[in-house]
Amino acid sequence: MRIMPKADALEAFVLGLSEQSYRHQSAIALLADRALGDIELDALLLEACQLCADVLDVPAVRVLEFRDACGLALRCAARRDTAAVTAEPRAMSVSAGGGSLGAGFAVAGGMARAGGSMKAGALKPRVLASASAMIDDGLEQFGVLELDCPYTREFSEPEVDFIAAIARLLGRAVARTRERDALRQANDALAAEAEEARMLLRELSHRVRNDLQMLEAQTYLEARNTQDPASRQGFGTLARRVMALAALYDHLLATHEPQLVAFDDYLSMLCVRVQDAQDLAGRDVVLELSTQPVWLSQENAVGFGIATNELIANAAEHAFVGRSGGRIRLQLAQAAPGSHRASLTIADDGRGAEGPEGDGMTFVRRLIGHHGGTVHRMPGPGTNWRIEFPCA
């Protein structure tokens, strides 16, 4: 029998330690990389058991979880047959979530929390060597990473350090999972509250829309029934403004965007209602609309919608006196790409405005200015108004 020289034996020992350290560090890095991904906690715990069993050549590795005051329950486990048990190694078998490891691979009994360490009771006779490390997520003790052997062996200091490092990594993964679950629950709660708020808002919009339609119909009725010209004009003005609000709520109820209003679509709906309310077809007045997509806040859409309604009504009432038929043109366009400005032109081919501006035009100017817009009278023929305003 050849005896290895001491120098060769020392070199072999050092090389063995280096190889072992490399395997340990590689395994920890691999598991850490998996833990930083989207892997589920149970899958990560199971991979940790498999990794420990393979790297340390241990037949049975499991994660035991504290579930109640009575002790520990099996969360997941890996089992492999090694050459130490049988002459021909066999493939690893795995069980998880409470499955059994089979005869001879018993869970340690009598475990309990004890100031950050574990107290182990008697093991079943077939378990002759065992090592364990606490899995702590920083807030509480989650459980134990346990390695069992049905034969006598000692775990070296590097192996104990490796087991402790894996347990610490699993503790961080448990903490990350709990934080992620808490965040998911909070997001679900916020989503449920937002959905409830949207439903309440739609219900309120329905009621407001219905009330506005009733008010619009009542004011038109009063305008027709009153004999006083000033009262008739006042009721007609009020009805037009209520109609603009009712049209906006009709548009909002048909869209799923609660914050922004497609002003081009809103104008289309408003023009249809203006045609009916002013009986433009019966007076042979054509209302034309040309639009580009423009988005406004609800508040600005209301203001500019009412102003547009007023200018259309003024044109229909005053532009075509003494003649039959006419044309009112509306053109909505973006000022420039990315400028967040838009323009609306309202022009007729009538006789043009005469005399000083009345109370209605004063109201229009104040309303447009209040919402950050400007209105200018442009050269004819007819009356030509250009409104410029901010958009989304």
Q: Which domains are assigned to the chain?
A: 16-186 (3.30.450.40), 253-390 (3.30.565.10)
Nearest to 148 by CA among 169, 132, 170: 132
Distance, CA of 300 to chain centre: 27
Tokens 């089992």 sit on residue: 79
Q: Give me the percent of the chain exceeding a pLDDT of 70.
A: 80
Q: Give me the percent of the chain exceeding a pLDDT of 90.
A: 34
What pLDDT digit, counting tens, does each position of 133-154 carry? 999 988 888 999 999 988 888 8
Tokens standing for residue 389: 């305003």
Is the model more confident about 374 or about 381? 374
Model pLDDT, residue 5: 55
Please report the DSSP string for 18-60 in residue order. Answer: HHHHHHHHHHHHHHHHHHTTT--HHHHHHHHHHHHHHHHT-SE
The verdict on pTM exceeding 0.85 is no
Extract the runs of DSSP E, i.e. beta strands, from the chain: 60-68, 71-79, 93-96, 113-114, 117-118, 129-136, 141-149, 260-262, 285-290, 295-297, 326-334, 341-348, 374-378, 384-390
Tokens 């009771």 sit on residue: 121
Nearest to 389 by CA among 343, 323, 357, 353: 343
Q: Are 66 and 114 in contact (CB under 8 A)?
A: no
What pLDDT digit, counting tens, does each position of 58-67 carry? 999 999 999 8
Q: Taking every pair of C-alpha atoms in the chain, what is the biggest distance, in angstroms? A: 131
Tokens 């990594």 sit on residue: 169
What pLDDT digit, counting tens, does each position of 314-333 carry? 888 888 888 888 999 999 99
Distance of alpha carbon 376 from alpha carbon 386, whole angstroms: 5
Specify which residues 287 forms β-bridges with: 328
Is the model more confident about 208 or about 385? 385
Tokens standing for residue 260: 């922004």
